[in-house]
A and B are shown apart, each in its own frame.
Chain A
Amino acid sequence: MYNSKVIDTDHKDVIHDIAFDFYGRRMATCSSDQLVKIWNLDDDGNWVLDSTLKSPSGAVWKVTWAHPEFGQIIATCSFDRSATIYEDSISDKGHGMKRSWIKRCPLVDARSSVTDVKFAPKSMGLVLAVCCADGLVRLYEAYDIMNLSQWATVHDINTRLPCCSCISWNPSPSRFSAPLLAVGSDDGCLANSSNNSSGGTMSITNTNTPNNASNNTARVAIFAYCDNGRRWEQVETLLSITDRVHDIAFAPNPGRSFHILAVASKDLKIIVLKPKPANSDGSCGGFDLAVAGQFADHGSNVWRVSWNVTGTVVSASGDNGLVKIYKANYLDVWKCVGTLSSFGAVPHSISDRPDEEEQPVQPQQTFGNSAQSLATNKSSAVGAVAAAAASGARYLKMASTNNPGTVVWH
């Protein structure tokens, strides 16, 4: 069951990304309309617009927050080949205290569209990873965390991937494991990055192109920082994934000896990485990879994956309009524990459908692109739920039950 709170962001175009700060009380949204908006959660639980930041040119793809230990800092990346760092700071110049978001530093080394930015875990200091469509990942560091206008490139990583689309840090490195960075790749951004000068929508550019790169290219590479060479080395390539990767995310690690990586590609893969013992020369030993879960119930593509803060639940959004929530049960078997469906296109006459066998509707295995098939899929699902709750809108809401904290046993 969910309580839903609607926030009208007033973005004039597609929202590409939203990011929450460490505590989940501030939210940043970014959109094709070149705006980044910052929202605060007030005491009554409403989201209130704090400020609006305008990117100089081009759609803003991604936005991310730094750890609050470093202050209130966000980084954005955009179509205009730059990543930008903003800080929410208080100045007492003028009359009284004034709080405002200040653009601290544009990072303009990229030669093509910047597709993702992520701050490193706090133990590494204030480090930002920026990945671009040309296959390069750059790590920037603010040496003086009191002065955010100076950032220096500390590492350049050539991923040798066709087109980086997403990166993820291993969120909780321990003393026993080197910092890890996973990079995923799709293609199409490269081909289209030049013909759309005003910043179209990323999603259009990267999928209308046929899958022209050879299907045998590995799409996910994992890099580890090696103390010996003081550089990032590629320690693993996920050869099993050759489809375009749209999103990638390491799970927060509550003291496990292994790491869990969720990869959004044609399907959702949950991959367990068990570290091998380090080599005799001290370099990273690599990982034993195992697929812990593979879910193809998202139509033809999974677009986003997102872990909760404890790394126990992962949600994935796919082509067929469903958001599915996965959780491992006590035997470490990953299962879908909830489904969220869009309601938008369904006519309102659902409540007079006769009672159907009530059960969560299985998503279609073969995804048809026609809106019709989607509508029938949705309406049968909604009809089933609504029939159980013929008494009106309120029960519709109750019926739309979803409890990610519970393991469903089938």
Chain B
Amino acid sequence: MPSMMELEEMISSRFYVISNNNAENYRGHYAQSVGVHSLAVYPALQPSMPTPSAEANKGVSIIQHLSPKSWLFSRHSRQLVNEAMGTFRSLQGMVEDATPREGDDPLDLTSALINKSREYRSMLQACVCSLNSDLDKLEPDSDEYQEMAGQCQLLYKMELLLGLVEIIFVDSRPGSLILSQLVCWVRLHYPACTEQMVKIMAEEDPSQHNLYWQTIYELVCQGRMSDARQMLQQHPYCHTDAFVAIEEILRKMPTYQLYSGVSDGEFMLRWQHWQAECENRLQGGEFAAWSHLKKLAEIMCGNSASILSVTMCGEGNRNDRGGCWVPHLLATLLFTQPNVKLHRLHDAATRAITECCVKLSALDALLLSAMQGDALQVVRGCQQTLDNLWLGAHLTDLLHHALASQRHTQLSLAAMRESIVQDYALELAGHPSLWQVGIVYLDYCGTEGVKDASPLTSLLLERVPLTSDAKAHKVINMAEQRNLEHVVRGVCRVMGRRAANEGRLAAAIWWAVRAKDAPFTSHTAHQVLHRYLTSGEFQSSALLLDHLGPTMLLSETLTFLGKYREFHSLYNRGDRKQAADLLVTLISSKLAPQYFWPVLLLDVLPLLQSSEDSQDKDDEIVVTAAHTYELMYCLNSVVDKFQRDNSRDRGSAVAMECGLVRAFTQREHELRTCLAHNLARAIVTESSSHSVTAMSGISAA
């Protein structure tokens, strides 16, 4: 397993090797960008090389598709990414609410920021937990295990850093005495000694355990005095003078509490008094008989060699979770400098590191710069050392808000926050399944705030692969929320085009209408009509056409299509008069394309025939005389056209012979007869009814 140090080094060296052992004659690669951060590289024949032989051509055809790899895209991090987005969003919302309106004092965001920072930390911890539980199921030698273990350590260190940043930058207390916060921070991250204590106490005779004393030392080094006392009481000689004395010292150690009413100076006085007493007893040889107790007293007197010997071989500190210098720092501070101020912390840390003789890893350096109070350096370090910007983005955001609320307005931090959050968003947006999260982050990058979508959003949204209708709807939805009308139209056009290509005409029309793309709508509507010509039915389009409503006005052909469908439903309902009126209007208004007239005429036929059948009810004239003239004109022009086409071109005549057109040519004669009959009847009926109305008009007069 690689140590933490190695892992970090691997990440921070940004150098990738393209392996292509076959292409030995090829000097390097050409790269082509794909999407946001992917690359395709292919071997390049450099001009200085001679033309390769066929043998040497081996490997020339290999393309490598490189896509970004990071633990961020692993299965376990999914939850982390999504939850962090929620927290990030609500934090931005709170900041926006807290922005001072005219005259108001800005609200204090500190407690909110601390909350959010803790949320981030608990997410990281949850992620570590889920990784750990999965680790148990894996072979320790497998690649996956090692990768996950590495990720685990990385997350752990990130949390460590976030905790420290929270103490130093976000949760800064008055008086800048930070030891109590540091104690909590270290206790939380180096829990090995308490775990060990529980294990030992469960033994029958704890004092016989070989780690009994070591554990007590470590507990004391973390300032867990009562735990240490509890363990000491398990010793068979705990009632001897030496034990009683050490217990008293442990019990009496003063701890600083911020709001306890004890001032800084008074606390130091008490503490010095306590240590002096401890020293006296040690010098007085009270613990001479017990080497262990003597060492304990030495630790409490601040003897750095003793402290070092404990922290260096501590069970929990020896693993490479952040090196042993952090517990050592804490122990040293506890027993030499309990009133350490923030600005002294960095010096103390550097001393602790030199005493521990550890090589500083990149993340250790980050901790150091945090202790130095250099927020910019922390942000830069995050960018540089981590292979993705999860921590970078959220940390920068927190720092930005925290420092802004403390009125240390740092312009560069604001600019950096924007650029890092944007980079993180792009990192996510390049991933096939995290793009939505990325888009959300982009919303908060612009200086304008939430109102204006980042200009990058439209570039990214329109390139989301539309693999299914559902995905298209998702993209449209997101674009509509951000008022990106052109993206919506673009998506609809592409979907329409695709549907048309695949022969799904109803879907094509629907998308085209949404895209408000008139030419394409007409084109598709024509295709529907042509299909109707051959098959005589609308198939799937019928339902769509029934519900078009006013959108059908987008294109003439679509209007005709919709109206023609309306004719069908009127006819089916038995509303013949209206149906006939509509049909003739369609023809006379020239809305119907001419190639479709034969169908319309065929549709008239049953109407004409039905009125013939119902001769007894003489007032029922379905097609009026004027309309009949129109129809006759239409019939003649269709027949004329057929004849012209026939004489000119044999080919098209064959095309005419399909489906409904053939039916038309066969029934042309029948149609003429019916029209003539109808005309006669209509003239008679109309003139009589006309005369009746005229008569009634006269009588009324």
Contacts and interface: CB of A to CB of B under 8 A. Distances in A.
B16 A2 contact: yes
Nearest to B35: A24
A282 interface: no
A386 to B, nearest CB: 9
A360 B460 contact: no
A347 B651 CA distance: 70
A341 B10 contact: no
B69 A12 contact: no
A369 B62 contact: no
A29 B65 CA distance: 13
A89 B501 contact: yes
A172 B459 CA distance: 10
Contacts of A68: 494, 497-498
A406 B22 CA distance: 31
Contacts of B63: 6-7, 9, 15, 18, 29
B659 to A, nearest CB: 15
A343 B387 contact: no
Interface in B114-167: 143, 146-147
Given A9-B63, A403-B70, 9 more contacts: A14-B60, A18-B32, A201-B45, A204-B47, A311-B459, A317-B44, A401-B387, A405-B389, A406-B14
A310 B419 CA distance: 14
A15 B59 CA distance: 11
A376 interface: no
Given A317-B28, A342-B27, A146 B65 contact: no
Interface of A: 1-15, 18-20, 22-25, 27, 29, 31, 47, 68-72, 89-90, 92, 97, 122, 146, 172, 200-201, 203-204, 206-208, 252, 254-256, 303-304, 306-323, 325, 329-331, 337-345, 358-361, 369, 374, 381-382, 384-385, 388-389, 391, 394-396, 398-409
B57 A405 contact: no
Interface string B491-519: 00110011001110000000000000000
A5 B177 CA distance: 54
Contacts, number: 313
Given A374-B27, A407-B383, A18 B503 contact: no
Interface stretch (B216-224, B298-306, B463-471, B574-582): B463-471
A20 B20 contact: no
Contact of A204 (B51, B419, B420): B51
15 contacts: A1-B11, A1-B69, A2-B16, A303-B30, A307-B33, A309-B35, A317-B29, A344-B19, A388-B9, A401-B10, A402-B16, A405-B37, A406-B389, A408-B14, A408-B383
A20 B34 contact: yes
A1 to B, nearest CB: 4
Contacts of B494: 68-69
B215 interface: no
Nearest to A71: B497
Contacts of B32: 18-20, 304, 306
B43 interface: yes
Nearest to B381: A409
Contacts of A25: 465, 467
Contacts of B523: 146
B459 A340 contact: no
Nearest to B48: A369
B181 interface: no
A12 to B, nearest CB: 7
Contacts of A206: 47
Given A2-B68, A406-B423, A400 B16 contact: yes
B36 to A, nearest CB: 5
Given A7-B62, A20-B40, A406-B383, A69 B68 contact: no
Nearest to B9: A388
A325 B31 CA distance: 10
A409 B384 contact: yes
Contacts of A404: 37, 68
Interface in B37-69: 37-48, 51, 57, 59-69
Nearest to A315: B31
B61 A409 contact: no
B384 A408 contact: yes
A389 B420 CA distance: 29
Nearest to A360: B15
Interface in B607-632: none
B17 A382 contact: yes
* Chain B residues touching A, range: 35 or more
- Listed from nearest, the 5 A-B pairs whose CB atoms lie closest are A321-B28, A255-B455, A330-B419, A254-B455, A207-B47
B35 A308 contact: yes
Most buried by B among A252, A312, A342: A342
Given A391-B2, A409-B383, A403 B28 contact: no
Given A24-B463, A310-B456, A2 B67 contact: yes
B505 to A, nearest CB: 12
A254 B29 contact: no
Contact of A309 (B380, B388, B463): B463
Contacts of B383: 406-409
A381 B18 CA distance: 12
A72 B24 CA distance: 36
A381 to B, nearest CB: 6
Contacts of B397: none
A341 B18 contact: yes
Contacts of B44: 203, 303-304, 317
B423 to A, nearest CB: 5
B13 A388 contact: yes
Contacts of A408: 14, 383-384
Contacts of A5: 64-67
Given A29-B63, A309-B463, A401 B37 contact: no
Contact of B29 (A323, A389, A402, A405): A323
Contact of B143 (A13, A394, A407): A394
Nearest to A2: B66
A330 B418 contact: yes
B64 to A, nearest CB: 5
Contact of B503 (A90, A304, A323, A409): A90
A8 B61 contact: yes
Given A2-B69, A70-B497, A207-B47, A15 B459 contact: no
B405 interface: no
Given A8-B62, A71-B501, A321 B17 contact: no
A330 B61 contact: no
B23 interface: yes
Contact of A24 (B19, B34, B146, B501): B34
B644 to A, nearest CB: 24
Contacts of B38: 24
Contacts of A309: 33, 35-36, 459-460, 463
Contact of B61 (A12, A255, A369): A12
Given A11-B61, A406-B383, A310 B41 contact: no
Contact of A254 (B9, B387, B456): B456
A254 B10 contact: no
B28 A318 contact: yes
A168 to B, nearest CB: 14
A1 B154 CA distance: 15
A207 B490 CA distance: 42
A4 B24 contact: no
A402 B465 contact: no
Given A23-B466, A71-B501, A342-B29, A11 B60 contact: yes
Contact of B10 (A24, A317, A369, A395): A395
Nearest to A374: B27
Contacts of A6: 62-65
A403 B388 contact: yes
A85 B21 CA distance: 36
Most buried by A among B11, B39, B463, B466: B39
Most buried by A among B60, B380, B420, B467: B60
Given A1-B70, A339-B16, A381-B15, A14 B45 contact: yes
